Amino acid sequence: MMLTRHLRRALSDLAPRQDPVANRTLKLLERKKVTTLDIGILKRKQKPITMVTAYDYPSAVHVDLAGFDVLLIGDSVGMVELGMDTTIPVTLDDIIYHSKAVCRGAKRPLLVADMPFDSCEGHRFEALKNAQRLLKEGGVDCVKIEGGVERAETIKTLVDGGIAVMGHVGLRPQAISVLGGFRAQGRTAKQAEQIIEDALAVQKAGAFAVVVECVPSVVAKALTEILDIPTIGIGSGQHTSGQVLVFHDLLGMLQHPHHAQHVPKFCKKYADVGERIRQGLEAYREDVEHARFPNDDYSPYKMSKDEQAKLAALVDTKYAKQADEAEEVFVSEVSKVY
């Protein structure tokens, strides 16, 4: 709240000048907190739901100010920020850690955290305890669970326990061992029927919305028409109640070959932030190497001439011999190596 308060105060100073960016941002700051009820209302009003996946405080601040409805702290953090090849190694503690950071930066979006791989196994009340940790320690509003019919009982347990749940059908990254990799799902009528049955089971269990990942557009369209709850598409065409993409992917942030292998082909790149970051870092490195930074403009802390004279005398009388001895030791050690 402190960040929001400071931003509102700073931007209000600009408002009288009719600054369009300041006015637009002020409007966003005044928006009320998004709830699961709001998400349902957006579907009924046929207004597309906007959702993005992010994992840290700076990203959350950007998402907040951009006016998104939903922010997901996804287990994709393993691949995007931790350099893993899949989401499987991500732990509940990882999600809690990143959720805490996101919650400090984003106040208005509905905050959803992934239940990572193995956090829904065992007795269904174990899943309830894990979800409770995400809300109590992570600070999120609700959780997302991958799976359909086989997860319905778990979802119902969480909802009965007072925790809102978003479902996830179609491609389920936590199940790639069974699915044979990151592959599109629902390409046959039989497969599509199973996805529909999964989504209906999730809805019946009490989920307030469901992510539909990597299915043909026609399947996503059928799901959206059949279900009462909103569908959030990712790689599933335009006929869903809303869309979600990963922050780093849509902004073109990561240029490293490792990450390039995992950027999905359905993701539109809205900016080339990664290239700008690389250029900035290279410019800084070159300035340091050529003694162009820092110059006087970036050396703001001064000492009076009198104090400078005192310091020079102190160095000459007290530290000169010590510096000479250190130099002799350094030269001796270097000569041994070279």
| CATH code, domain with 153 | 3.20.20.60
In this prediction the pTM is: 0.85
Q: In the prediction, which pLDDT does 175 show?
A: 79
Could you list the residue range(s) of the whole structural domain that residue 97 is in?
A: 31-270
Q: Is the pLDDT of residue 262 over 60?
A: no
Say if residue 317 is in the same domain as residue 262.
no
User: How many angstroms separate the CA atoms of 134 and 293, rounded?
Assistant: 44
Q: Is the pLDDT of residue 48 over 90?
A: yes
CB neighbour class for 247 (10 Å; exposed up to 12, middle 13-18, buried from 19): buried
Sign of CA pseudo-dihedral 239, 241, 246, 247: positive
Q: Has residue 19 been placed in a domain?
A: no
Q: For the ranges 2-11, 195-204, 263-272, 314-323, which has the lowest average pLDDT?
A: 2-11
Q: Has residue 293 been placed in a domain?
A: no
Q: In the prediction, which pLDDT does 123 show?
A: 85
Q: Has residue 17 been placed in a domain?
A: no
Say if residue 310 is in the same domain as residue 263.
no
Say if residue 265 is in the same domain as residue 308.
no
Which residue has better confidence, 264 or 269? 269
Identify the three-state secondary structure at position 30: coil
- The set of catalytic residues is 213
Q: In the prediction, which pLDDT does 29 show?
A: 59
Q: Is the pLDDT of residue 332 over 80?
A: no
Averaged pLDDT, 50-55: 98
Q: Has residue 224 been placed in a domain?
A: yes
Q: Has residue 21 been placed in a domain?
A: no
Q: Has residue 295 been placed in a domain?
A: no
Say if residue 63 is in the same domain as residue 162.
yes
Say if residue 337 is in the same domain as residue 231.
no
Q: Has residue 64 been placed in a domain?
A: yes
Q: In the prediction, which pLDDT does 91 show?
A: 98
Say if residue 108 is in the same domain as residue 194.
yes
Say if residue 137 is in the same domain as residue 245.
yes
169 contacts 210 by C-beta, under 8 angstroms = yes
List, in sequence order, every beta strand (DSSP E) within 5-114: 49-53, 70-73, 110-114
Counted domains in the chain: 2
Q: Which of 223, 245, 270 is the last residue of a domain?
A: 270
Q: Has residue 15 been placed in a domain?
A: no
Say if residue 247 is in the same domain as residue 338.
no
Q: Is the pLDDT of residue 63 over 80?
A: yes
Phi-psi region of 240 (alpha: psi -120 to 50; beta: other; left: phi over 0): beta
Say if residue 266 is in the same domain as residue 308.
no
Structure tokens at 146: 């991958």
Which residue has better confidence, 264 or 289? 289
User: How many angstroms separate the CA atoms of 77 and 246, rounded?
Assistant: 10
Say if residue 103 is in the same domain as residue 185.
yes
**Confidence band for 17, pLDDT divided at 50, 70 and 90:** low
Say if residue 135 is in the same domain as residue 66.
yes
Residue whose entry in the numeric block shows the structure tokens 């869309």: 243
Other residues' Cβ atoms within 10 Å of the Cβ of residue 338: 4
252 contacts 273 by C-beta, under 8 angstroms = yes
Say if residue 244 is in the same domain as residue 319.
no
Which residue has better confidence, 174 or 125? 125
